[in-house]
Amino acid sequence: MSYAHTEVAQIAALSSNRCIGKNNDLPWHISADLQHFKKMTTKPNDSDIQGIVIMGRKTFESMGSKPLPKRVSFIISTQLDYAEQQGLAGRDNAYVVHNLDDALTQAASLAHGAHLDTIWVIGGERVFKEAMRYTDRIELTHIDTDIADGDAFFPELSDNFTIASESEQMHDDKSNLDFKFVTYQKKVAE
């Protein structure tokens, strides 16, 4: 089920035990994964808006409380004065909303106006889980490691999702980790 004819996609990197975060940070640093994230969430065009991302407050804070370049950020927070606290009030590249439905509705409207066909859900754990029922596609970087003391995890995928494509296994020399990119597509109801 797309949101107002706009694809909802999730993107995350996760360990073998589904860990996506530790102490509000990524448990690894793999530059190819960060480049993949940027390439997926930005679509070069003539517009100032090259992508739309939805995230929870903690994910936003883990990125230094700054909106991503060339993308509009929707930040979900239950704190009513969060936009003012973070100096985001009145900005046109970051909006604070108080629930996922508002984020998706506003993001879909903005995507339509900016001629973008995908809204990206980029974390964290609770936002991924809540958005799953609206999600059409999931882009996961599978990292071949176990994070024993992680504190944020990607939800289990239901049988509604099948692997549409996957990259070769790659190796990151700096972190000494193996990883691959996998695209999951939601099955279309028969």
Range(s) of the domain holding residue 60: 43-145
Q: With CA atoms as reference, report the closest residue to 145 among 11, 25, 17.
A: 17
Q: What is the CATH number of the domain that holds 141?
A: 3.40.430.10
- The pLDDT, as a whole number, for residue 1 is 43
**In tens digits, what is the pLDDT along the chain, a chain of 190 residues?**
445 579 999 999 999 999 999 999 999 999 999 999 999 999 988 778 899 999 999 999 999 999 999 999 999 999 999 999 999 988 889 999 999 999 999 999 999 888 899 999 999 999 999 999 999 999 999 999 999 999 999 999 999 999 999 999 999 999 999 999 999 999 987 6
Question: Beta strands 161-166 and 177-186: pairing type?
Answer: antiparallel
pLDDT at site 108: 95
Note whether residue 89 is domain-resident: yes
Of 159, 103, 166, 177, which is closest to residue 139 (Cα–Cα)?
166
Residue 84 lies in a domain: yes
Number of domains the chain contains: 1
Q: What is the pTM of this model?
A: 0.95
The tens digit of pLDDT for each residue in 122-164 reads 999 999 999 999 999 999 999 999 999 999 999 999 999 999 9
